[in-house]
Amino acid sequence: MTEEGKTLVFSQLMISLKIDHPDHAFLNPHFLATSGIVPASWEISEFLVVSGQTTEVKFDNGMSIVGSKGTIMFVERLHEQPPEASMASGMARRFVATLPDLGYRAVVSGFTGDLILSKGEWDRVAVDNLSCKGPWLQFHGRTGGATARMCFSAEGITVGLSGDEDDRMWLEHEGTTVVSFDAEFERPVPRKGGVQPILKCIDLWESDLMTLEAFVYESFVFGT
């Protein structure tokens, strides 16, 4: 997403299911394929089991499934733009439909990405909007740079933002300011009511994405 020379780039979408079931032995390639949770045509690039506590299945298309105690995560690697149809949410829906009795407690949608600004734009935003002006901004006649890390949390929503001047070559953007962000939207699900309330929470990832975009663009950077 691009607006007035500012580019919002997404790198990862995650759908996480919090469950009561202590075991995740069912996260094996054979079961995932034969149950239809994962399309049989997907090629597995890596299957890891770490000390019996964590299981991770990675696929060649950038998808991965991670299981740890009480959590199943469906992670989708994105290519700059958010997907019109999420593979992660589709997998999470099929997982819940296949295994409805794991004691689902909450659904979390998570996003990771970067806001790319023109060179020097972050320092202007940080100094003008996020700090108290004073003599400390000048040292021997020169304006200082700025680094900031912030976390916002309300009603199950957690957004982390960090901004710094970054001269790396990244996605063909050289010598830019990169404001990195990660956000999680957590919703508890009712113990009764079957799988439909769980599926409804999974489908809210698009609404969460729009909320995050509005926050990063309007509330944080362009609110002045």
pLDDT string in tens for the chain (224-residue length): 555 556 778 889 999 999 998 777 788 888 999 999 999 899 999 888 776 688 899 999 889 999 988 999 999 988 766 666 689 999 999 999 999 999 999 999 998 888 777 766 665 665 565 555 555 455 555 555 556 666 767 776 777 666 555 544 344 455 666 777 788 888 999 888 889 999 999 999 999 888 888 877 775 565 54
- With CA atoms as reference, report the closest residue to 25 among 45, 54, 46, 63: 54
Q: Name the amino acid, one letter, at 83.
A: P
pTM of the shown model = 0.79
Tokens of 89: 């949410």
Please give the helix or strand (H or E) that residue 93 lies within, else none. Answer: helix 87-98
Tokens of 171: 């996605």
Q: Name the amino acid, one letter, at 219.
A: S
How many angstroms separate the CA atoms of 164 and 187, rounded? 31
Count the Cβ atoms, other than its own, within 10 Å of residue 122. Answer: 24
Which positions ≥6 away from 202 have C-beta within 8 Å?
15, 89, 92, 93, 96, 107, 109
